[in-house]
Structure 1
Amino acid sequence: MENLPTDHFVKSMQFTARTHRDVYAAIDPTQAALSQKGKVVIITGASQGIGARGFVPSFAAAGPKAIVLVARSADKLQEVADDIAKSHPNVETLVVPTDIGDPASVTTLFEKVKQKYGHADVLVNNAAVFKEEQPVKDVDQQTWWDEMSINIRGTFLATQQFLKLLPSPETPAKIITLTTGAAYQVFPGLSAYGLSKLAVLELMAYVAIENPNVVATALHPGVVMTDMVKDMFRKFALDKPELVGGIGVWLAGWEGPDRSFLSGRFVASNWDVEDLVGRKEEILQKELLKMDLNAKLGAEQFE
């Protein structure tokens, strides 16, 4: 890893002709085309990292009715809410300290959303933990399972409650769930994190096919410098949180180009969204950006 260039993961995962590591015009959340006016946005993991520095300020800039801030720490969430009150005083915030892996806690979260807003329009599944860095044979069993449980169960619980709260099967909604390149690339020692992010990637595929009214996308944030970045990835952590936030706002957009073709699919923050739209027909026809076995299957090949 030490001999790789700092843009290795950008180029090795490149799907569009243009790539980015910072916010750019097409995903600038302040533009009218990306307005979230009148919408209610729930952001988990909103107290720090990409949540606090990327998704929250970007969605606030898009001018929603309200942002529901979700994480375990009430104090840190309140600090984020205070920042929004200063920078975007017209955006309401609802601070709901929540243990995302606890069904009762998540139920309480959505009961509060229902009481105040009826339902939410956008869910950003950003909360996750990334602790273990040991081979499968050496990793502590309980720690491995706890990481899997928080990342998978927490995303499932929030997604399920969000869907249940929608007024009807026709109500449009957006879900953005954080995944990673480690969901399909194997990095030794990262089995719990990689497998959990593969699971939530596939969860979005199920949500997409079961709920035609919902655009559910799995978003790889690139490599952003946060407390979760492991030492071996630090030199690559040059992607800006504003890039990830801007992509999130674009994926949750209600006007402009169709995003539904990305529902149930993998998207990387480094990819140019206009180039993605330009490849729409190819993506749909070839079933790109979905998990599959790298093999030719079917009895017809032997006939």
Structure 2
Amino acid sequence: MTDFTKTYRRTTYPAISPTNPSNSQSGRKVCIIGASEGIGFEIAKAYIEAGAAEVTICGRNEMKLKIAAIQLEQQTREDFGRTEARVLDAGNVEDVKHFWQTIKSEKRTIDILILSAAHTETINEFNPEDVATYFNQNCIAKLFMVDGFRRAKRARPEGVEPAEEPVLIDLSSAGLMGYPYPKAAYSASKAGFTTWLCHLSDMIEDMRIINFHPGAVFTPAAERSGEAPRDLKIWDDPSLSAHMAVWLSTPAAAFLHGRFVWANWDVEELMGMKDRILADPGFIKIGVSGVENFSIAGLVQKCEEQPLKKD
């Protein structure tokens, strides 16, 4: 999978940059779930830079959200609409239902929904209750998040139309493809939700759905876990995943509806594969379709061959 495109990206580049006029998000309202820090926060910054009309960040920790919102406000452009923070436990079904009820009661609209929150804690992989917690948070609760987004789209207030088609982007993981992988419940729960979205996309034509592996980013959560040191060669620059999310919500990426892509793949090369992708309904979707499998060892080797160049 690291060689799917000839160019293996490690940081941002002009084709996905939020300052590229073709990636403008002007007039669009974005909601990012799991954005108080890490990749979700970087994605929020990228959408602001791309000129989104409104960016809502959601997370469980109110204090972290407030700090993140202040930081985002400090970087907003003069013509930017607003940044809003909402406390939400995206792994709790009742919280998710309440969130969408509130959006409806406030007659708010969301054009782009980014699912960045995930349960990643180390557990006893042989304890069914621990494993069930992973599935409840990384799969079940997210089903209700998608349902709420679809219902909100159908219930859009009269006279209010989205700037473009509604877009749902889920931050999945290459971990669901890798064997061996140390976190079985994480990998399996991610695989379950990502596979469901791949199938759901075949039934939906009025909303874009894209799954993407955001690359390997040394986030605050990764640092707190202590599972991998900062100096590993696999870490990509956070701008790669953030700017890839912006590009995936542009008209240019519409052909990737229902697919699973890597942030490390070069988007211009992907666009060159457009006809091939559209011709095969199972191409770059989750499943056993004869493509090469992913391995941690292969990723490390690729990153050694293609080191991240820093200014």
Identify whether the pair has TM-score above 0.5, normalized to the shorter chain: yes
Kindly report structure 1 stretches of 4+ aligned residues shifted beyond 4 Å: 168-171
Indicate which of 135, 138, 151 corresponds to 1:151. 138
Is the aligned partner of 1:265 residue 2:255? no
Q: Is the 8 A contact 1:27 1:246 kept in 2?
A: yes
Q: Shift in Å at residue 174 of structure 1?
A: 0.6
Structural RMSD (CA): 2.2
Give 1:115 deviation, angstroms. Answer: 4.1
Equivalent residue number for residue 90 of structure 2: 100
**Matched residue SS, 1:175:** strand
Deviation at 1:233, TM superposition (A): 7.7
Partner of 2:307: none
Secondary structure of the residue aligned to 2:83 is: strand
State the alpha-carbon separation in 1 of the partners of residues 28 and 289 from structure 2. Answer: 40
Give the C-alpha shift of residue 97 in structure 1. Answer: 0.3
Matches within 5 A, 1:243-282: 243-254=240-251, 257=252, 259-282=253-276
Aligned to 1:48: 37
Matches within 5 A, 1:273-292: 273-286=267-280, 287-292=282-287
Q: Distance in 1 between matches of 2:10 and 2:183?
A: 24
Unaligned runs of 5+ in 1: 1-11, 296-303
AA matched with 1:31: N
Identical aligned pairs, as a percentage? Answer: 26
The partner residue of 1:141 within 120, 128, 131 is 128
CA–CA distance in structure 1, aligned partners of residues 54 and 107 of structure 2? 9
Give the counterpart of 1:16 among 5, 9, 21: 5
Q: CA deviation at 1:114?
A: 3.1
- CA 83–179 in structure 1, closer or farther in 2 if over 3 Å, else same: same
SS where residue 79 of structure 1 aligns? helix
Distance 2:229 2:206 in 1: 37
Q: Is the 8 A contact 1:38 1:64 kept in 2?
A: yes
| Cα distance, 1:223 vs structure 2 | 0.7
Aligned partners of 1:133 and 1:285: how far apart in 2?
Answer: 41
Gaps of 5+ in 2: 291-311
Name the SS of the counterpart of 2:191 in structure 1. helix
Paired amino acid for 1:226: T
Distance in 1 (CA, whole Å) between partners of 2:265 and 2:94 is: 37
> Structure 2: how far apart are the matches of 1:21 and 1:163?
33
Structure 1 residues 211 and 168: CA distance shift in structure 2, 3 A: farther
Secondary structure of the 2:55 match is strand
For the Cα contact (< 8 Å) 2:139–2:193, is it kept in 1?
yes
Number of residues of Structure 1 aligned to a counterpart in Structure 2: 277
Alpha-carbon offset, residue 109 of structure 1: 1.7
SS of equivalent residue, structure 2 residue 94: helix
Change (3 A) 1:266 1:78: same
In the TM superposition, residue 133 of structure 1 has moved relative to its aligned partner by: 6.0
SS at match of 2:9: coil
Distance in 1 between the 2:233 and 2:123 partners? 18
TM-score (ref. length: structure 1):
0.84
- Give the superposition deviation at 1:20: 0.9
After superposition, the C-alpha distances for 1:90-127 in whole angstroms (9 at most, x for unaligned) are 23122110111222211222233334453211010100
1:70 aligns with one of 30, 38, 58: 58
Aligned to 1:25: 14
